[in-house]
Chains A and B, each alone.
Chain A
Amino acid sequence: MSSPRNYQTQAIILKQIKLGEFDKLLAIYTPEFGKLQALAKGACRPGSKLGGNVEPLTHSLLFLARGRKLDIITQSQTIDGFLGLKSDLWRLSYGFYILELIDLFTMENSVNRPLFDLLLETLHRLNEADNDQIILRYFEFNLLCHLGYRPQLKRCVICNSYLKPQANFFSCRQGGVLCPLCAQKETAAHPLSVDALKVLRLWESCDYTMAVRVKLKPELSWELRQVLQDYIKYHLQQEVKSMRWLEELKKLSLVDSNSSRH
């Protein structure tokens, strides 16, 4: 009985499943414990004190009591409800996508503080800014880095020679960039433009403030999305369900005419 019976933690609510009439089973992401499952009893009752504090896409301060199987949320307070994000269909959908990626890529009780910070900052940025393509791509790239899938961007993964400023190739299987010569031997490699490689190299080492200064032309934005999402799918080995919803939204051309969302 070394651990106390009650503890307090910040958490970002990832997912909720309704249990019975009034309870909710939550997947939450915390800085100290990684992903956890927790029970929010009576959260669906009108006037519940947990209520809106434990909806997905909320950054909350939670008090939990250790249960035999599941920890139970006893008190909660919203730190940031990301209200801007929740009132815009596109950004809300991006929010779902981000939460799903975190949920799919992480295991319970595996601590990853940088990943929590990345998630929190991404949601803050998405809540405030309208530069969402860069935010999403930066998130995808750094998510992969924090999980241990950082691609090799300086040297060719096969022959180890420094990459020249020319059109190179990206291989999900090799986990990095290939020079044109080696790429001939690798069937599943996709072309990677000089600009795309430059952007990825910058994002590898800079923070959000720097990252959003990059000007992405539509083609470059499309290319980065393609490369990163292929890489994500390769490692995840399963479908990201909210990606299908984003496709759906795009198909219905519900895109705001004044923004360049892809």
Chain B
Amino acid sequence: MSSLAEPVAKLVRELSKLPGIGPKSAQRLTYYLLRSPDEEAKTLAEAILALKEKISLCSICFNITDCDPCPICQDKKRDYSIICVVEKPSDIMPLERTGKYNGVYHVLHGTINPAEGRGPEELKIKELLSRLQNGAVKEVILATNPNIEGETTALYLQRLIVPLGIRVSRLARGLPFGAELEYADDMTLSQALEGRQVFQ
């Protein structure tokens, strides 16, 4: 590496810190940038800077945002009486894409994981509970992932929220589109059976 010019070596070092990028890929990217027009490299650099400078967490729902409150929390057309609780900011995008949900969100930033010693105090649970205090919220949808940690988190939240007299619902679990019945596990199948719907 010592034979490389210092700016090149530095960029290779920095790029190879990124997930999934080894020293070879880092070199390839560096040489690509070296050959590319100045404008392209500048835009990339500015995008990276803006990411760190402008992005913060929404003070209401803790989604990542460049303005506070985030566009979803500011949107007057949305239904503020329903909160959908998700594990991480990237879970909001797929829910939004469905176009079926018009409520607001709350991002927990993780799940409870007893085995790793991650408890509720490390998540935005206190913040969620304080949002529920003013009585305007009628329903909380628990959209944590259907795995063991997501389930633990959902059960815990259910115990905390139900006594407040707020309706708590959980995303339906069942067979994903394109799956085969033969390979479905017991938990999924039994929940798919319990949650079956009239076909009309």
Contacts and interface: CB of A to CB of B under 8 A. Distances in A.
Partners in one complex: yes
B115 A15 contact: yes
A49 interface: yes
A193 interface: no
B115 A46 contact: no
Interface residues of B, number: 29
A57 B148 contact: yes
Contact of B187 (A49, A81, A89, A100): A81
A242 interface: yes
A97 B114 contact: yes
A241 B115 contact: yes
Nearest to B178: A47
B185 A248 contact: no
Interface stretch (B45-53, B59-67, B74-82, B151-159): B151-159
B155 A81 contact: no
A56 B148 contact: yes
A241 B183 contact: no
Contacts of A96: 114-115, 152
B66 to A, nearest CB: 26
Given A89-B152, A241-B116, A242-B114, A49 B183 contact: yes
A86 interface: yes
Contact of B188 (A51, A57, A242, A248): A51
B116 to A, nearest CB: 6
Nearest to B117: A241
A83 B155 contact: no
A53 B159 CA distance: 27
Contacts of B176: 46-47
A242 B115 contact: yes
Interface string B168-181: 00000000111110
B190 interface: yes
Q: Is the interface of B mostly helix, strand, loop or mixed?
A: helix
Interface string B134-173: 0000000000000110011001101110000000000000
Interface in B117-133: 117, 119-120
B40 interface: no
Contact of B185 (A78, A87, A89): A78
Given A245-B112, A254-B159, A93 B152 contact: yes
Contacts of B96: none
Contacts of A239: 117
Nearest to A77: B185
A89 B155 contact: yes
Interface in A75-112: 78, 80-81, 83, 86-89, 92-93, 96-97, 99-100, 103
A244 interface: yes
B6 interface: no
B186 interface: yes
A254 B186 CA distance: 29
Contact of B120 (A92, A97, A248): A248
A191 interface: no
26 contacts: A15-B115, A20-B20, A46-B176, A47-B177, A47-B179, A51-B184, A52-B185, A57-B148, A58-B185, A78-B185, A78-B187, A81-B186, A81-B187, A83-B186, A86-B187, A89-B152, A89-B158, A93-B114, A96-B114, A96-B152, A100-B114, A103-B115, A239-B117, A241-B116, A245-B114, A248-B119
Interface of B: 20, 112, 114-117, 119-120, 147-148, 151-152, 155-156, 158-160, 176-180, 183-188, 190
Given A47-B178, A244-B119, 19 more contacts: A47-B176, A47-B179, A57-B148, A58-B185, A80-B186, A83-B190, A86-B148, A89-B159, A96-B152, A100-B115, A103-B115, A239-B117, A241-B115, A241-B117, A242-B114, A242-B117, A245-B114, A246-B114, A248-B120
